[in-house]
Amino acid sequence: MTSWLNRFRNPAANAARLGPLEWRVLESLWSRAASASVRDLQPDFREIAYTTLMTTLDRLYRKGVLERTKQGRAFIYSPRLSRQEFESGRAVDALRVALEGNSAELGPLLSYFVQAVSDRDRELLTELEALVRARRAEIDQKES
């Protein structure tokens, strides 16, 4: 997962790198239990030309979003990451961009994050607190 996400040098552009049709194709592939060819996907995209779908799949492959293998004369495509891995990567990238900003502006963002976590799950808030303590201990050891 990490090597693929590192291809996105500007984390904020991660989602912007994919157009609406690319997102639809990716969603269609995620919803399937197996890899798919252009012909397999065509029924989900009747409103677009076969060649447009083929070009879109190739573009997603060149962007590093899809893997492909040759079967006979056709390529078979599958997502490199699960939907959850992809969304987690986007969230990590967005948080990284936020943390690179002005530290004075981070207070409200971090406060909102802690509130959202605690509203959802008290155990998750406890886990977050433990992670912060462990990270502080690592930093203190390095400074000693």
Question: Whole-angstrom Cα distance, residue 101 to residue 44?
Answer: 41
Question: 78 or 86: whose pLDDT is higher?
Answer: 78
Question: Whole-angstrom Cα distance, residue 101 to residue 118?
Answer: 24
Indicate the average pLDDT of the chain: 83
Cβ neighbours around 35 below 10 Å, total? 17
Max mean pLDDT among 15-19, 45-49, 118-122, 138-142 falls in 45-49
Question: Whole-angstrom Cα distance, residue 27 to residue 79?
Answer: 9
pLDDT, tens only, 130-139: 989 999 999 9
**How many angstroms separate the Cα of 53 from the Cα of each of 21, 41, 56, 115?**
9, 8, 5, 43
- Structure tokens belonging to residue 55: 């070009």
pLDDT range class, residue 123, cuts 50, 70, 90? confident
pLDDT, tens only, 26-83: 999 999 989 999 999 999 999 999 999 999 999 999 988 899 999 999 999 999 988 8
- Section 19-28 average pLDDT: 94
The number of CA neighbours under 13 Å toward the Cβ of 20 is 2
* pLDDT attached to residue 63: 87
Can you give the pTM of this predicted structure?
0.65
Candidates 56, 59, 61; CA nearest to 42 is: 56
pLDDT range class, residue 13, cuts 50, 70, 90? very low
- Structure tokens belonging to residue 11: 């984390």
Question: Whole-angstrom Cα distance, residue 66 to residue 26?
Answer: 8
